[in-house]
A = this chain, B = another copy of it.
Amino acid sequence: MTSESFLDRMRTRGLRVTPQRRAVFAALEGHGSIHLTADEIWSRARSVVPEVSRATVYNTLNELVERGELQALTFDGGPVLFDPNASHPHHHFVCRDCGRIDDVEPEGLEQVRLASGHRTERLELVFRGQCPECAATSTA
């Protein structure tokens, strides 16, 4: 999700480009960890456009999710996390110690199937355990 293609895509689809939306896009790009809550995104966006309101941030994020540019994730009843890595198929690893979410690309998924009469269209995997950093730090 680069800034250029992104804003272009917006314009193409008849969405207006405003300073507020640009700030939200920037927040989604310029960061280390790539799973942010709406509030974290709001916070980052305000450092660029101080007047941006929470409502606008939510509006923009929901719009992006509807368009499939962003994926919304929830873990353990927490707030929704927004994942800009929507174009590239991947799954998630939740660290039991620091709570961090990493994108992962598991192998061997081809074998997974359902014997029941369910028509599967999509599959989401959540791995849980220790992230590499926590594993290095802890004695466990």
Contact = CB atoms under 8 A, between A and B. Distances in A.
Q: How many copies does the complex hold?
A: 2
A118 B104 contact: yes
Contacts of A119: 129-130, 135
A120 interface: yes
A72 interface: yes
Interface in A99-134: 102, 104-132
A121 B96 contact: yes
B113 A108 contact: yes
Contacts of A132: 116-118
B112 A125 contact: yes
Contacts of A113: 106-108
A48 B113 CA distance: 41
A80 interface: yes
Contacts of A131: 118
A75 interface: yes
A129 B124 contact: no
21 contacts: A72-B77, A74-B76, A77-B80, A93-B114, A93-B118, A93-B120, A104-B116, A105-B116, A106-B112, A107-B111, A107-B113, A108-B110, A118-B130, A118-B131, A119-B129, A119-B130, A121-B130, A122-B127, A123-B125, A123-B126, A125-B126
